[in-house]
Structure 1
Amino acid sequence: MSDASVVIVGGGVMGVSLAYHLVKEGWSDVVLVEKNDLTHGSTWHAAGLCTHFAHSPTIQELRAVSVRLYRDILPAETGQDCGFHRSGAMRVTRNPDRMDEFAHVAGLSAFTGYPLEVLTPARIAELHPLATLDGLLGGIHEPDDGHVDPTLATQAMARVAQAGGATIQRFNPVQRIERTATGWRVETAKGAITARHLVNAAGTWGWEVGRMMGVNVPSVPVLHQYLVTGMVPEVAARQDAGLPELPIIRDPEESWYLRQERDGLILGPYERDAQVWSPDGVPAAFGAELMPPDLDRVEHIIEAAMARVPAVGNGGVKSVVNGPITFTPDANPLIGPAHGLPDAWLLTGSSMGVMEGGGAGRFLAHWMTHGAPPMDALAVDPRRFGAWADRDYRIEKAVECFGLQFGVHYPHEERPAGRGKRLTPLHHLMIERGAVMGAAYGWERPNWFSDHAGDVAEPTFRRANWFDAVAREVEAARARVALADLSVFAKFEVTGPDARAFLGQLGANRVPAAGRIGLTHALSPEGGVAAEFSVAMLSETRACLASAAAAEEMDDDLLRARAAGFDVEIANVTEETGVIGLMGPKSRAVLGALTDADLGTGFPWLSVREITVAGVPVRALRVSYIGELGWELHAPADRTAALFEALEAAGRPHGIGCYGAYAMNSMRLEKGYRAWGADLTTERTPLEAGLGAFLRDKDAIPRRDAPWEMALLEVECGDVDPFHAHTVLHDGAPVGIVTSGAHGYRTDAALALAYLRPPIRREDLQVQILGWTYPARILPRPPYDPDNIRMKA
């Protein structure tokens, strides 16, 4: 038996990248075990594409780090080329919505420092003279993109890792994994290894290794084909003339990519009806094998590519690669802690393994070393999926993601596969009232309410078909009274003698007195916001915490880890409790008709009481995320529907309505309220987020050399509503980024929360939305009821 600091299971580009970066971080006794040889599985047969195109700054940075590593760093360290070709890349389209998407990504990239160029058809012809322009509206150019030899890059990282002390054991399959009192025991064909940390970087085998660990890994192998042509005369002629390599070209509407390979081409199609392979366990003998070609499945895509680039048809088919790549339910990798397992990590599930592998290894190495990710991790954290992501879900979503590999990413997109996994106690009532549902951490929740059965939200970057319906929902909450299903909140109970002491160290905020409500922000080691909880103190020994639906597993892990040494018990009561929002100036009258409790001076703003409403025991919180008089009513799940119907009946004389997530987002922005996961992340401290008033000790927050500052902006953008990831400009230069935005119906203003670079420019700001720049001004106070008169009424 040997001892190690960490055992990494899997020798593809992801696992080897982690070994490389852990050594760079100063780790010793790093052991990587691989069942076959390095790169076996999916790395070796990857097309090696590398891009900077992404909708998330975190995903974009993973990809950009990979490019720098393969192109510059590894060749300098090893003296050997990794086969990186800086060919550049472009995407072309005939779809107006796609042009909006390109403009949005180009705007984000101006902020992140990876400028992309939106293309006209004439510019497309200049960059790729073999492409036809029929029907094209334009495209986008990624000048620093290219392709790499996956095997050369992986082997280069392996050499550097081994030179730094890492051990790589090839042809050593893992047979059993168990958790011990001091760490992890990994039994392999060549003996047992004990280690404090365990990392599942098994890629194609990620689900199986996860099962050994005792964690759900929602990934599925899907077969992807690409064909390699023979010599293409047009390409060979360019080579003979000494012309630059052709840029990679993608046509997302036709669902293919094309890149030069010496004097030929590689064409990769993504069919809509993906072929899942071995979802319940990859054959033990599988290694560097491929499936037989099946070009009939993609013939129509090949024909479309030949129509766009006729030269493709002049090279014939030299070979076909048909092998498995892994897909998660949202096509993003799984990078971060394994839920409920101390010192266990996932680094798997990447359908873009080579493209993201270099950066992914660096990302996880930083997290393991410093206790927090280097950037906001929500897009990659494995705990964004829970136990509800079962076999059917992971297969349905993998097929959908593969088929929409080049799908347009709309700002309010709701994809249809894998729905209905978690239903709130009010789900059937919401449907009856016209709710158009969205998905949040597996839950179905109302986004908006329609008067027309079967309505769906139209996908668009512009003002959507739900705009007027949401206006009506906001008006009901502003002028009368409205109900909302808030049951998707993650909910926890903390009980025990040390409840107050535990909450005191959990975050940077004051712990509310018994009977009161407050916010607590749990911080990362560097002072970023790791979690946000609303805390209702029922007594000195009992508290109820609520947080974002998507944070359920993350917050569960955080609470239990930080409870060490305190005499408390933590219970996740998310499934057991339903929550109804009762909001609006008539909410007191509605609630008063159903309870004998004092709802006046005996129930002030930001207080909590346990009362009975319509015969139902309710934990009532006088708090509002939308800026109106109101209550959150927490009730047993099996009685929440009866409570809702009683409230609705009592509210009919007052014109009661319902509101959904879109209305709530609009109204919270009018109050300047921050949202976890968008405005609040580990990248920014509470001080930078403008939450200093909630902190008990501002001096305890780590200070940044160049702190950011969050501001609420009013944007003069007409009927183009802001959403997220828009760059803020001053004199044409990027100075900030929008984290969330919407139209404010009560104020008739377009509002956006944004982080601005120091020194803060307070005049002459612009926000770039879909390629256009609009004037913006910083609002010194929230535009709606800044003194909270309505909530305190």
Structure 2
Amino acid sequence: MTMDAQVLIIGGGAMGVSLMYHLAKAGWRDVVLTEKNDLTHGSTWHAAGLCTHFAHNPTIQELRATSVRLYRDILPEETGDSCGFHPSGAMRITSNPDRMDEFAHVAGLSRFTGYELRLLTSPEAVADLHPLARTEGILGGIYEPDDGHVDPSLATNAMAKAARAMGAVILRQNPVTAIRREGDHWRVETAKEVIRARHIVNAAGTWGWEIGHMMGLNVPSVPVLHQYLVTDTVPAVAERIAKGLPELPMIRDPEESWYVRQERDGLILGPYEKDAQPWSIDGVPPDFGAELMPPDLDRVEHIIMAAMARIPALETGGIKSVVNGPITFTPDANPLIGPAHGLPDAWLLTGSSMGVMEGGGAGWFLAHWMTYGAPPMDALAVDSRRFGSWADRDYRVKKAVECFGLQFGVHYPYEERPAARGKRLSALHDRMVARGAVMGAAYGWERPNWFSDRAGDEAVPTFRRANWFAHVAREVATVTASAGLADLSVFSKFEVTGPEARAFVDSLGANRAPKAGRIGLIHALTPAGGTQSEFTVSALGDDRFYLTSAAAAEEMDEDLLRARVAGHDVRIENVTGDLGVIALMGPKSRAILSALTEADLGAAFPWLSVREITVAGIPVRALRVSYIGELGWELHASRGDMPALFDALEKAGKPHGMGFFGAYAMNSMRIEKGYRAWGADFTTERSPAETGAGPMIRPEGRGFVGREALLRRMAAEDRWDMVLLAVETDSVDPFYSHAVLHDGKPVGIVTSGTYGHRTGQTLALAYLRQRDLRDGLTVEILGRPRPARVLDTPPYDPTNERMKA
């Protein structure tokens, strides 16, 4: 028997059922969900059900907040059934000063997003909220009054009931056995029938890797065993109930790596050990469904003892049961949501270690994306394409173990976690390290963050100015006075060739393709007019274009290009791994490069132009473009030629005092120029005009995706506006997600920030949702409001004289 479906969702946990509910609510028809066993089997059924608003990213926070609203308010009203939501509130406590900085940062973000998270600045404030907790050694914490916990099975079944009432179909005890593409549909073979679906969604959770394998896709998730224990009656809790006192707030101690919540007249204790235990890495046992592993409390005994020392009442309740079951982790502990790379009409909604906490919101998020062609918020933190084929078995296992162990780790800005590094190395990697590069990771690539003169130097994580601050200042000074060399090989790179190449590039976005020999920016839009991608476009001829973009955008941009090429006689080639890039920047860059080439680097090679030249006998695609505001070139050459090109440039640069610079120096210098960055400042939420790219927009005379929406947003009186701020501060510089305040009320959000070493100013790029505000602004950084003023022009070389020299 064959069944037709507009969409087939594979997996009946909280994530998949939420998507079924939200798609049905959005008007989709023939929505079918197939489940290997029964709803909630896998990890949903044994989840502790914690729900929170705490998050370091506004999109993740909205997933969690949406889940709370759904379980607490919407589903009970729609179905008449309770989801078992307990509005207990929650708190996190700490003895770590850095953690207090983290709490202040999250509280500041939440002021902008509108969710109340209250800093607790003393042990007494903690004791007032949780009278069973000892507070010796505690500095404070953060209180989340709207948090709570939910019954995972009740919530999932309430979503299923509402979805069925809207016509959705659920197939239980129906495992998928094969998946393949047939024409414009997916053919999915199951135990009961064949399903022909226009769209398929991998929401398989514990089985996500296996279903991905059937789809021909690498899904970098790993089941990891997590234990929690449930106590018998705790007298202190029973006494509170007898007195009619409210439920205790959930409490987490991230330093000791545990959480505790009330469960009737007992408590639940959940520890996260550092040495996580991956489970069934290459395939879940066929008969696994609602089973648990035997308890293994020896692994977490030290954490249990620490929790009992903090909450002595735990000792008074015997262990009633121990839950030891798998939950899935991705390499960064965020879920995988969005299009499946390279596969038409295929989607991922899996990999969440917080499936119940995020599931209600995750289903809403993907349903919006599938319905409207773009996510409702910036998706970079969850986009299923943020890991490529380089995220192999070794990577996903090591990162899952690391993320589990750092479930309660401090989230520092500029943090570089050490597990599974070195997956993608540029041809210059060893040379960079030999010259003092301290490396960071960008989409699997190793890239220099900064350069040290001490062997083995590493960044010390902090929310304040780090140990690399002076090193970056030196790099900037060298580039400004002489010249600097940087390895930018991590760029995503695409070649677009063919007789209709110009027409195709012209149709990509809000900016026209540049003339032959010139360089321009093209912003590809979502249907809603937001910025989906930003390409630097070099026109090598009317039938040859070279596009570069951010490292993290490689799979996303390749998908976009291939999706929009239909109807054009064009060939698209991803050459990211074939070419390397050296940036040579600074006032002496022309003199250095002239010593190695016969090409005219003067008037015949103006700013924003591209030439194919020979440098030290090596064919080079030279782009006269600069992201840092100095005279300079990007030199793109074959990977095999990069070492020789580097050696020649280094030798030619030594008499001129040339040095090296990394990503941190580049960030400082680009913000001094007011340059926006994709993924931080350019996002799908805001149009290019709102981001400050209005002068480059050329919407007339042609069609492109998002054009009408862009024009409406440009004309709207309530559109947002990005500004460059000079912030008065001392040793704490803005980085991202700080609230911008006016008269104490949140009116904007910082997207990126830095200290500008050339200008001696602390700077931040920020969106204001009230465009007319210019005076009386402050930026709240780690709990303190810092005066800020809007800069009408970039503080460094506003007329671009240095780049045009």
**Aligned residues of 2:585 and 2:630 also touching (Cα < 8 A):** yes
Query: What residue number does 2:64 align with?
Result: 63
Deviations 1:652-672 (A, max 9, x none): 000010000000000000000
Q: Once superposed, what is the RMSD of the aligned Cα atoms?
A: 0.7
**Aligned residues of 2:492 and 2:549 also touching (Cα < 8 A):** yes
Name the amino acid aligned to 2:720. Answer: W
In the alignment, is residue 758 of structure 1 matched against residue 770 of structure 2?
Answer: yes
**Aligned residues of 2:476 and 2:758 also touching (Cα < 8 A):** yes
In the alignment, is residue 350 of structure 1 matched against residue 352 of structure 2?
Answer: yes
Output aligned runs, 1:128-167, within 5 Å.
128-167=130-169
Name the amino acid aligned to 2:37. Answer: N
- In structure 1, distance between residues paired with 2:278 and 2:630: 49
Q: Match of 2:331, SS?
A: coil
In the alignment, is residue 243 of structure 1 matched against residue 245 of structure 2?
Answer: yes
Deviations 1:474-501 (A, max 9, x none): 0111000100000000000000011110
Name the amino acid aligned to 1:95. Answer: N
- In structure 2, distance between residues paired with 1:264 and 1:307: 17
Query: What residue number does 1:73 align with?
Result: 74
- In structure 1, distance between residues paired with 2:338 and 2:464: 34
Query: What residue number does 2:723 align with?
Result: 711
In the alignment, is residue 792 of structure 1 matched against residue 804 of structure 2?
Answer: yes
Q: More displaced, 365-374 or 714-723?
A: 714-723
Output aligned runs, 1:627-646, within 5 Å.
627-646=629-648
- In structure 2, distance between residues paired with 1:760 and 1:332: 36
Query: What residue number does 1:88 align with?
Result: 89
Q: 1:746 aligns with which of 755, 758, 774?
A: 758
Query: What residue number does 1:379 align with?
Result: 381
Name the amino acid aligned to 1:313. Answer: E
Deviations 1:390-437 (A, max 9, x none): 000000000000000000000010000010000001100000000000
Query: What residue number does 1:99 align with?
Result: 100
Query: What residue number does 1:649 align with?
Result: 651
Q: 1:735 aligns with which of 724, 727, 747?
A: 747
- In structure 2, distance between residues paired with 1:445 and 1:439: 6
Query: What residue number does 1:554 align with?
Result: 556
Output aligned runs, 1:132-281, within 5 Å.
132-281=134-283
**Aligned residues of 1:51 and 1:146 also touching (Cα < 8 A):** yes
Q: Match of 2:208, SS?
A: helix
Q: 2:423 aligns with which of 409, 418, 421?
A: 421
- In structure 2, distance between residues paired with 1:550 and 1:515: 27
Query: What residue number does 1:512 align with?
Result: 514
Name the amino acid aligned to 1:430. Answer: M
- In structure 2, distance between residues paired with 1:718 and 1:711: 21
- In structure 1, distance between residues paired with 2:607 and 2:402: 46
**Aligned residues of 1:54 and 1:105 also touching (Cα < 8 A):** yes
Query: What residue number does 1:37 align with?
Result: 38
**Aligned residues of 1:103 and 1:771 also touching (Cα < 8 A):** yes
**Aligned residues of 2:719 and 2:771 also touching (Cα < 8 A):** no
Output aligned runs, 1:305-316, within 5 Å.
305-316=307-318
Q: Match of 2:391, SS?
A: coil
Q: Match of 1:115, SS?
A: coil
Q: Match of 2:21, SS?
A: helix
Q: 1:338 aligns with which of 322, 337, 340?
A: 340
- In structure 1, distance between residues paired with 2:117 and 2:65: 13
**Aligned residues of 2:721 and 2:771 also touching (Cα < 8 A):** no
- In structure 1, distance between residues paired with 2:394 and 2:772: 49
In the alignment, is residue 774 of structure 1 matched against residue 752 of structure 2?
Answer: no
Following TM superposition, the consecutive aligned residue runs of length 4 or more in structure 1 with deviations greater than 4 angstroms are none
Query: What residue number does 2:331 align with?
Result: 329
- In structure 1, distance between residues paired with 2:640 and 2:130: 62
Unaligned runs of at least 5 residues, structure 2:
701-706
Name the amino acid aligned to 2:584. Answer: L
Deviations 1:539-596 (A, max 9, x none): 0000000000000000000000000100000000000000000000000000000000
Q: Give 1:761 shift.
A: 1.1
Q: More displaced, 688-697 or 570-579?
A: 688-697
Name the amino acid aligned to 1:38. Answer: L
Provide the aligned length of Structure 1 versus Structure 2. 793
Query: What residue number does 2:4 align with?
Result: 3
Query: What residue number does 1:692 align with?
Result: 694
Deviations 1:498-529 (A, max 9, x none): 11100111011021000000000000001000
Q: Give 1:702 shift.
A: 3.6
- In structure 1, distance between residues paired with 2:128 and 2:667: 44
Q: Give 1:760 shift.
A: 2.5
Name the amino acid aligned to 1:729. Answer: L
Q: Match of 1:474, SS?
A: helix
- In structure 2, distance between residues paired with 1:644 and 1:523: 37
Deviations 1:65-94 (A, max 9, x none): 000000000000111111000000000000
- In structure 1, distance between residues paired with 2:184 and 2:602: 55
- In structure 2, distance between residues paired with 1:672 and 1:760: 19
- In structure 1, distance between residues paired with 2:185 and 2:737: 40
- In structure 2, distance between residues paired with 1:12 and 1:674: 39
**Aligned residues of 1:608 and 1:622 also touching (Cα < 8 A):** yes
Q: Give 1:719 shift.
A: 1.8
Name the amino acid aligned to 1:628. Answer: E
Q: Give 1:316 shift.
A: 1.1
Query: What residue number does 1:725 align with?
Result: 737
Name the amino acid aligned to 1:106. Answer: A
Identity %: 75
Q: Give 1:720 shift.
A: 1.0
- In structure 1, distance between residues paired with 2:619 and 2:427: 16
**Aligned residues of 1:332 and 1:349 also touching (Cα < 8 A):** yes
- In structure 2, distance between residues paired with 1:338 and 1:139: 39
- In structure 1, distance between residues paired with 2:356 and 2:698: 45
Query: What residue number does 2:16 align with?
Result: 15
**Aligned residues of 1:526 and 1:702 also touching (Cα < 8 A):** no
Q: Match of 2:44, SS?
A: coil
Deviations 1:203-239 (A, max 9, x none): 0000000000011000000000000000000000000
Q: Give 1:697 shift.
A: 2.6
Q: Match of 1:101, SS?
A: helix
- In structure 1, distance between residues paired with 2:414 and 2:136: 31
Q: Give 1:690 shift.
A: 0.9
Q: Match of 1:506, SS?
A: coil
Output aligned runs, 1:429-468, within 5 Å.
429-468=431-470
Q: Match of 2:255, SS?
A: coil
Deviations 1:33-91 (A, max 9, x none): 00100000000000000000000000000000000000000000111111000000000
**Aligned residues of 1:738 and 1:753 also touching (Cα < 8 A):** yes
In the alignment, is residue 24 of structure 1 matched against residue 22 of structure 2?
Answer: no
Name the amino acid aligned to 1:511. Answer: A
Q: Give 1:759 shift.
A: 4.1
Deviations 1:171-230 (A, max 9, x none): 000000001111100000001000110000000000000000011000000000000000
Q: Match of 2:40, SS?
A: coil
- In structure 1, distance between residues paired with 2:607 and 2:158: 61
Q: 1:391 aligns with which of 390, 393, 405?
A: 393
Output aligned runs, 1:640-679, within 5 Å.
640-679=642-681
